[in-house]
Amino acid sequence: MPAIWTITPKTPGVPSGVFALPAGEGAHYRLDLRPNISMGNPGFVRVIGVSALFLALPLMAVLGTPVLWGLLPFAGAALWAIWYALMRNRRDRAALRETLHLSRDRLEITRHDPRKPARHFRANPYWIKLSLKEAGGPVENYLTLSGAGREVELGAFLSPEERAQLHDELSQALRHLK
């Protein structure tokens, strides 16, 4: 899952992944959520290569004629458009993230969307209600946090299985704080 939990300060003798928040000021959980980026550099090269091959096939029929020079700019523009769309998608997915800070006295969520200002949500974790709507929501396993007069969706870019796992981990962390 593209979720990274950080517990500060780390409690000595407690295994990793166990929610054991040490007593004291400044102790908190931090959760970083990022979307899964499924196509790496080798996949990008393959898609561009296969696209160039398929764009070159019709040009083979007109090779050596003046028609080639009329079609070549359109084939180049189509290949550039595919390259640009894939690069833009990669940049947007890298810019998309959610950060959750959780301590005994506050819960703060910051969502960074590409080309938009960051959105913030703050509430007291004692009054937070975590809910997972398995059916009937906009998507399967719709994960929301309610508190401070608002309801926010968490992990919109995660798969349904990842949202269910996040619900379990976050409910365990919230239970530990109460």
Q: Evaluate the omega torsion of the peptide bond into residue 9 and state whether it is cis, within 30 degrees of 0.
A: yes
Give the mean pLDDT of 152-171: 91
Residue 13 has pLDDT above 80, yes or no: no
User: Euclidean distance between the first and final Cα of the chain, in Å?
Assistant: 26
Which strands sit side by side in the sheet containing 129-133, from one edge to the other? 129-133, 142-147, 150-153
Give the mean pLDDT of 45-68: 95
Residue 58 has pLDDT above 80, yes or no: yes
Domain ranges of the chain: 3-35+96-177, 41-93
DSSP characters over 112-126: E-TTS--EEEEE-GG
d(Cα 127, Cα 142) in Å, to the nearest integer? 20
Residue 76 has pLDDT above 80, yes or no: yes
* Structure confidence at residue 33 (pLDDT): 93
Q: Which fold has domain 3-35+96-177?
A: PH-domain like (2.30.29)
Of the pLDDT bands very low, low, confident and very high (cuts 50, 70, 90), residue 38 is confident
Residue 72 has pLDDT above 90, yes or no: yes
DSSP three-state, residue 129: strand
Of the pLDDT bands very low, low, confident and very high (cuts 50, 70, 90), residue 104 is confident
E-state strands within the chain: 3-8, 28-33, 97-103, 107-112, 119-123, 129-133, 142-147, 150-153
Lowest mean pLDDT among 10-24, 87-101, 112-126: 10-24
133 burial level (CB within 10 Å; 0-12, 13-18, 19+) = middle
Residue 5 has pLDDT above 90, yes or no: no
> What is the percent of the chain where pLDDT is above 70?
88
> What is the percent of the chain where pLDDT is above 90?
60
Give the mean pLDDT of 65-93: 95
What is the average pLDDT score of the chain?
Answer: 88
